[in-house]
A and B are shown apart, each in its own frame.
Chain A
Amino acid sequence: MSDIALKVVDLSKHFVIRNNVFSKKKIIHAVRKISFEVKSGESLGLIGESGSGKTTVANLLLKLIEPSEGRIELFGKDITQLSEESMRIYRGDIQIIFQYTHAVLDPKMTISELLREPLEIHQVVAKYQIDNEVDRLLELVGLSKSEKNKFPSQLSGGQNQRILIARAIATRARVIVCDEPVSALDVSVQGQILNLLLKLKEELNLTYVFITHDLNVVKHMCNRIAVMYQGEIVEIENTEKMLSDPQNPYAQKLIKSFLT
């Protein structure tokens, strides 16, 4: 049991939108009845075109939004119905690395404040060790201690992404959901970050759910791949098999377009 880190059963999410009081309600089925499992230490790649519901899945896994239907289990524990209060304890186990945008880190907080936060909230280390731990985390993600008192706006995109990663691993998370962690970065930097993620995976025995639409990245990072299309997972398969012999027509199309 315990080697299954994350299990998702029939998970759905629909958004109800209404432009104004008079217009009819419109329902968007962002995620439809998806099911998958991720083993401990495994990396699952989630690919699909823009708008296929990948980020929504990520948000659901982190319980940043409430699912409309279905079930999520984290290391065998059903977290679907947990209130925000009880969920807080499990937040240490599962973390997310967002795509880098301008304000993915609070621009009014310093790097050291940003890194202390998860340590304080989850009481990862004793109070007096927090400073040391911050230094260690910075070193782990390849940043120098001198960046500690800077604001996110004073760092580069790649450096910010490293901070995000450091924040995610600070809680001793075992599952990390990466939502297009490198797509906004320079190609040269992309490689560094991906290598960092791989290195950390080795060192810390992490489990990744890796969201991207770059097949190159998936190939590099994941053992298995799930292809999403209009909110559904149309196919889920080992990386080699998926790349060489996709079954689903949409998956075939997607992989073909990538190879050419």
Chain B
Amino acid sequence: MNRRNVPLIFGIVILLLVLLVMLFPEMFASHSPYTIQHIRFLHDEGRLSVERAPFSPDDGFLLGSDHLGRDIYSYIIYGTRLTISLGVLIALGQFLIAVPMALYAGFGSRIAKSVIQQFNVIFSAIPALLIAIIILKLDYFVGLEKQKSIMSFILVLTAVSWARLGNLVMERVETILTQPFIKGEVAIGKKHFRIAIENVIPHLAPELIVLFFMEIARNLSTLMQLGIFSVFIGNLGLINDATSGVQINTDISFEPEWASMLSTSRTLITIAPWTVIYPALAFFISVLGFNLFGEGLRTLMQKKESRSVLAFRKIITLDFKYFCVNVDKRSKFKITLWIALFALIIGFFSFINYKDYSIGYASVRVDLPETTVIGTEEALFSAGFIADYMTRLGIVPLRNDSLLMPFDIGQSFLIEEQMMTLSMESGIHNLNQGTDYAFLTSGNISESGVVYDATKDDLFNISSFDRFADKFILIEQLYYSDSAIRHFIETITVNAGVKGIILVARANQVIQNHIVDADEDNAVIVVSQEVSQVLKENPDLVIAVHTTVKPLTSNGYNVVGIHRGTDPHIGDEAIVVGMNYNYLNQEGGEVLKFNLKLMERLCQMADQKRAIIFLFLDGTINENQHGIHYIAQDFPYSPQKIQVYIDLTSITHERFGEIEFSTAQAPPTRQFAWSLGRLFDSKLNQKGYPIQLLETNYIDGSYYFTKSESDNALFWNRGIPTVILGTVKTDNNIWDLETLGSIVLEVINKNNY
């Protein structure tokens, strides 16, 4: 006992460090492992120079970066968790198969024995590594998502390597079974099973424990070797280049894990040796740690005849009265400690890949109004409610003292009743609001009359307004800009006593409106192309329109607050999350609950280092009154400090069939937003969401813009990169908010650091 058990001490030190890193990677890491930075600017003797990843180790990147500009040091730190637990889980798998098999074989089961031997022969003749590579390189395994990938790794590596251990244990079991006392136990009438558990395992236990740590070390080196052959968890196998018919794959993973670093860096060893050396070093240190610990334990176990085995036996035979056994207090304590530690480790590993990203909005119990529309009392109530909710979460106003930011929306009406009919020879047809027509401007109106088809007229030079009198004027929007149309409407309504203006919808124009610009005399209606066709073909047809409206106040309220960041370096960098709070039905109310809860969960997230600005936008139902325009005009936070605007205002359904998505406004030059977009993309694809990319206009051969002005507002006016996520109803609404919310939470959490 006098001589120190040096391997044990070193082993413990290394393993404790590894455990600490696994548990609290954010304490050690300097960057987010997901952050990608392709280029960086350096001030070099007063001159600005541009550098391309991989960057060599320096102040910015402690151990350098890889070719995507990810910080090697942080990647290693964050990768510890997955890599080590993989090693441990594979070892657990091996033991779960090997020990029972070895016991069976030891007790004379020929089948078990030959299975062990055959497996052993096969996998020592053909290296297990080779088989693992062949199996795990199959397309099926390569494309798996993270959880499944981990499972398949554990299964395959366990399958190819358990037999070696099984053979070892079997031989030990056989030796133990030749011990004289075994005969005594048989003679006394003890069952084989009990002998295995009560007599064999206690003798085996010290060795098993030692072997366990040795196996972990072996598994880690296997993982390392696999990594070199591009076999690792979550290999996306992106297609890099397919010109000239040859596919060039990049083996790449966005899952921090050591093995993947070796493969992605393999080609870089000459230009950027740090990309290979440090991950390999991480492997070596941890392999060394487990080996030393195992070796140290072996010496320790050989030295001591321990009473611990007593309690151990009681436990594995499920005799929980073990505390009644006469075990001296100290070893009782020691055993309890060991068990607690063991349970902790097991528990830890089973939860290792589990982080709670659930939203749980269904549990929110609040009394929200039935509808919330800009300019109504309900809207003011909801805004106040949201502000209270924010205050409770510690969200503070950005400007002045109020979370509520009012804006002027002019005079407008909320439509309460609306109707449009066509009287034809075949009878009177009711048209459908939402598919056939929608009011843009209206008041309390009841009109009927015939249609004047002005689609072929030159509306810029109207010679006589007489022909328009007392008619509905049909105008084709296709040929004119929005401002031209505004001009026509004005001239026509001023100069001729018309019944109303009918605009033919543009392709994809949404024909749905609940809030209209106020005009008691002239209605402006947009109709679908099918309806316009009918109107053109039947010049004598009489149409009737009827609306009753409710005036709205002229104020909208955006609720805007900031949850301050905690990190001293990047704490004033902000992510903006935009959500809507206007709705017309109960489903919309659920969406508001969801939005509130999402905000709460975002605030709770532990590794919240950047600030988050929450925009609850008013007026989202109508493009003209959309609160984002007012925010964009005078954004209350320095736009340079904003990393991304995550536009969730189009999330408007509790259940939906598709996701509407756009990263067109998050270009690679804005890396934070870009990688967020990438993460969203891969995560949504992984979960199998049908994605509908937002339609974009292609301007000047270089810029893409989404069609809707509100989607553009922050990027266009303030240069804030934007990622847009929304819901779309289809015939088959199988998706729900809860899962979408967890994706949002996970992606923001992973990208944000």
Residues of A within 8 A of B (CB): 59, 62, 64, 84, 88-89, 91-92, 95-96, 98, 101-110, 112-113, 117-118, 121-122, 148-149, 151, 153, 164, 167, 171
Check A122 against B189 for contact (C-beta < 8 Å).
yes
Check B186 against A167 for contact (C-beta < 8 Å).
no
Q: Say how far A99's CB is from chain B's closest CB, in angstroms.
A: 9
- For A95, A103, A122, A153, the residue with the greatest tally of chain B CB atoms inside 10 Å of its CB is A103
14 pairs, CB–CB < 8 Å, chain A vs chain B: A64-B187, A91-B188, A95-B188, A102-B180, A104-B181, A105-B181, A105-B184, A107-B181, A108-B309, A109-B313, A113-B313, A118-B189, A148-B326, A167-B188
Which residues on the B side are within 8 Å of A171 (C-beta)?
A: 188-189
**Distance A104 CA – B190 CA, assembled complex (angstroms):** 15
Check B184 against A121 for contact (C-beta < 8 Å).
no
**Distance A151 CA – B331 CA, assembled complex (angstroms):** 15
Check A167 against B189 for contact (C-beta < 8 Å).
no
Check A98 against B309 for contact (C-beta < 8 Å).
no
Q: Say how far B424's CB is from chain A's closest CB, in angstroms.
A: 93
Given contacts A103-B181, A105-B181, A108-B202, contact A88 B189 (CB under 8 A): yes
**Distance A122 CA – B188 CA, assembled complex (angstroms):** 9
- Sample of 17 more A-B contacts, CB < 8 Å, known A107-B181, A118-B188: A95-B188, A98-B184, A101-B180, A102-B180, A104-B180, A106-B181, A106-B185, A108-B203, A108-B309, A108-B313, A109-B199, A112-B326, A117-B185, A122-B189, A149-B326, A167-B188, A171-B189
Which residues on the B side are within 8 Å of A151 (C-beta)?
A: 305
Q: Say how far B303's CB is from chain A's closest CB, in angstroms.
A: 15
Given contacts A151-B305, A153-B305, contact A104 B188 (CB under 8 A): no
B191 interface residue, CB < 8 Å from A? yes
**Distance A89 CA – B189 CA, assembled complex (angstroms):** 8
Closest residue of chain B to A62 (Cβ to Cβ) is B187
**Distance A240 CA – B65 CA, assembled complex (angstroms):** 97
Which residues on the A side are within 8 Å of B310 (C-beta)?
A: 110, 113
B179 interface residue, CB < 8 Å from A? yes
- For B181, B188, B192, B203, the residue with the greatest tally of chain A CB atoms inside 10 Å of its CB is B188
Closest residue of chain A to B205 (Cβ to Cβ) is A108
Report whether over half of chain B's contact residues are helix, strand or loop; otherwise say mixed. helix
Closest residue of chain B to A153 (Cβ to Cβ) is B305
Check B309 against A92 for contact (C-beta < 8 Å).
no
B399 interface residue, CB < 8 Å from A? no
Listed from nearest, the 4 A-B pairs whose CB atoms lie closest are A91-B189, A106-B181, A88-B189, A108-B202
Q: In residues 158-211 of chain B, which contact A (Cβ within 8 Å)? A: 179-181, 183-192, 198-199, 202-203
**Distance A62 CA – B187 CA, assembled complex (angstroms):** 7
**Distance A184 CA – B186 CA, assembled complex (angstroms):** 23
Which residues on the A side are within 8 Å of B189 (C-beta)?
A: 88-89, 91-92, 118, 121-122, 171
**Distance A37 CA – B207 CA, assembled complex (angstroms):** 47
Q: In residues 673-708 of chain B, which contact A (Cβ within 8 Å)? A: none
Check B326 against A103 for contact (C-beta < 8 Å).
no
Q: Say how far A166's CB is from chain B's closest CB, in angstroms.
A: 12
**Distance A170 CA – B90 CA, assembled complex (angstroms):** 46
Which residues on the B side are within 8 Å of A108 (C-beta)?
A: 199, 202-203, 309, 313
Which residues on the A side are within 8 Å of B181 (C-beta)?
A: 103-107
Which residues on the A side are within 8 Å of B313 (C-beta)?
A: 108-109, 113
Q: In residues 268-309 of chain B, which contact A (Cβ within 8 Å)? A: 305, 309
Q: Say how far B184's CB is from chain A's closest CB, in angstroms.
A: 6
Q: In residues 424-455 of chain B, which contact A (Cβ within 8 Å)? A: none
Which residues on the B side are within 8 Å of A113 (C-beta)?
A: 310, 313
Residue among A95, A101, A103, A106 making CB contact with B187, cutoff 8 Å: A95
**Distance A106 CA – B305 CA, assembled complex (angstroms):** 13
Which residues on the A side are within 8 Å of B191 (C-beta)?
A: 88
**Distance A151 CA – B309 CA, assembled complex (angstroms):** 12
Q: Say how far B488's CB is from chain A's closest CB, in angstroms.
A: 99
**Distance A101 CA – B179 CA, assembled complex (angstroms):** 10
Check B305 against A104 for contact (C-beta < 8 Å).
no
Interface string of B207-236 (1 = CB under 8 A from A): 000000000000000000000000000000
Closest residue of chain B to A100 (Cβ to Cβ) is B180
Which residues on the A side are within 8 Å of B190 (C-beta)?
A: 117, 121
Q: Say how far B582's CB is from chain A's closest CB, in angstroms.
A: 72
Which residues on the B side are within 8 Å of A104 (C-beta)?
A: 180-181, 184
**Distance A113 CA – B191 CA, assembled complex (angstroms):** 16
Closest residue of chain B to A117 (Cβ to Cβ) is B188
Q: In residues 694-739 of chain B, which contact A (Cβ within 8 Å)? A: none
Closest residue of chain A to B188 (Cβ to Cβ) is A118
Q: Say how far B315's CB is from chain A's closest CB, in angstroms.
A: 14
Residue among B179, B187, B199, B202 making CB contact with A91, cutoff 8 Å: B187
**Distance A151 CA – B304 CA, assembled complex (angstroms):** 13
Check A103 against B179 for contact (C-beta < 8 Å).
yes
Check B184 against A167 for contact (C-beta < 8 Å).
yes
Q: Say how far A150's CB is from chain B's closest CB, in angstroms.
A: 11
**Distance A14 CA – B192 CA, assembled complex (angstroms):** 25
**Distance A127 CA – B305 CA, assembled complex (angstroms):** 30
Which residues on the A side are within 8 Å of B203 (C-beta)?
A: 108
Q: Say how far A250's CB is from chain B's closest CB, in angstroms.
A: 29
Q: Say how far A180's CB is from chain B's closest CB, in angstroms.
A: 13
Given contacts A103-B181, A149-B326, contact A96 B187 (CB under 8 A): yes
Which residues on the B side are within 8 Å of A148 (C-beta)?
A: 326
Q: Say how far B322's CB is from chain A's closest CB, in angstroms.
A: 12
Check A98 against B326 for contact (C-beta < 8 Å).
no
Q: Say how far A155's CB is from chain B's closest CB, in angstroms.
A: 14
**Distance A197 CA – B645 CA, assembled complex (angstroms):** 92
Q: In residues 587-612 of chain B, which contact A (Cβ within 8 Å)? A: none
Which residues on the A side are within 8 Å of B192 (C-beta)?
A: 84
Q: Say how far B681's CB is from chain A's closest CB, in angstroms.
A: 59
Q: Say how far A97's CB is from chain B's closest CB, in angstroms.
A: 9
Which residues on the B side are within 8 Å of A122 (C-beta)?
A: 189
